[in-house]
A and B are shown apart, each in its own frame.
Chain A
Amino acid sequence: MQPTSHAFKENAREALGNANLQKALTLMRTGFPERRTAAIARLPEFEALREEAKAIKNHVLEHLDFYLETFEQQVTARGGQVHWCRTPQEARETVLAICRRLDAKTVTKGKTMIAEEIALNDYLEENGVTPVETDLGEYIIQIRKEYPSHVIAPAIHLVKEQVAASFRATHTDLDPDRVLDEAPTLVAEARAVLRQKFLAADVGITGANFCIAETGSTIIVTNEGNGDLTQTLTKAHIVLASLEKLVPTLEDVSTILRVLARSATGQEFSTYTTVSTGPRRPEDTDGPGEFHVVFLDNGRSAMLGTEFQDMLRCIRCGACMNHCPVYATVGGHAYGWVYPGPMGAVLTPTLVGIGEAGHLPNASTFCGRCESVCPMKIPLPKMMRHWREREFEKQLSPAAYRYGLKLWAFFASRPPLYRAATALMTRLLGWVGGPRGRFRSLPLAQGWTQGRDMPAPEGRSFMSLWAERRKNGEAA
């Protein structure tokens, strides 16, 4: 997909005026954080588990070559195949080649953000293969021709009335007078429609929450079980993954799983945890005919050894966006690409370039709530700041802002001049605004005063008052 991250401000303005979106965001604002807090309160060792989980991923990143090779060996030993892809184009072509070889007409898809990253659905359709999303949220946005607004809740930007309208417009063979006003009826309808698609599909594509080096297995967690049907009924199961997913052993997975669902949805555990190891064996009653892992790099290996390496610990739980006050105000689509919220603000500039995504690391108040809930303890604000440093070096921020900053720094690094200037300014502003106590409008702060007042300074700077009192011997 074409990123619109450069238009973040316009996207945000639109989002602020979108009544359905604002209603949907209000519902999520308290839901996820409250459930996470409750889940963690029930697990005293949660903090210790976070440290363990972080250590596991750091260990993998320090020995990436070893674990990548081991993973490939184990996948191969069990009859599967790993495809290393540097770019989205290579990954798309690899998937299409498998589909063509198997003469696939339709593919079912479980939830995969990598597929969004490489815009796989559009590519498959252009090439005569019909992709069908099977995760309910993904299915909804597919029929609405949208993209996910959240990494684990792709349709969270919608209210159920919008979903019902889309179902009526798409499922035209069903009774037009049916009642679709509650979530369970919507789920039941999607389930019935999708069941036929599962049975007809030739290839199943899923993402991976984990790639286990020890066994060559991949794991997905879902709450709908759609991932299981996607991969067991088809001629081939294609897993789309990236190096963030790699873990050494099943034991390590069990540690990270304990922080994943709690951080994401506040569940102790996702409803389904599906382990996939190789294609169907002769003695198996079901399973895919072939097993492929398409491993996409897309710039991630270039993050190794840089100030952005810690980002590769991310397990895509979505806790950072669930707790982000900016995300909660503008929603995921404002960020203009696949990954929204704080993790997107760090990752997106890497994947689409800081020129395109320059707004994202700036659109944070650095409140630190994302880092405080990240199960992998990724220092998200710090990495956003690193992006701001790169932007400043490359002079990518608006010229007026940079000059303003320079002017301020000029004064702030010359204390006597600064004191004289601020003493004058506070006197002036205090004199003008003092009687009312506030300004309804200020020439250089229109953005601020459009929606709120600017409290007026008291009228004297502290430093000038302090100097005066010292001189008069009051505070000596």
Chain B
Amino acid sequence: MHVQLRFFARIREALGTGQITLELSDDVRWTPRLLAEHLASENGELWGRELLRANTLCAVNRTTVDAETALSNGDEVAFFPPVTGG
């Protein structure tokens, strides 16, 4: 399956990218947390630090979700820091 990843604000800056597409094994029950761990092991500690930070938020298809939510083919998964608008 494939997922579209998006990063915002401090996380986007730290990782040096705002958007990537990932091809993932269909045999795994993917969740945002597993995805973050996978990216940390592929791309290094910086990714782990940013994506697995306790206050990092996650959205799937533009709805805030728990990091243990199961992902589906074609999902848009976003990681971002606590919001500061207004």
To the question of whether A and B form a pair in one complex, the answer is: no
User: Which residue numbers of A lie inside 8 Å of B, CB to CB?
Assistant: none
User: Which residue numbers of B lie inside 8 Å of A, CB to CB?
Assistant: none
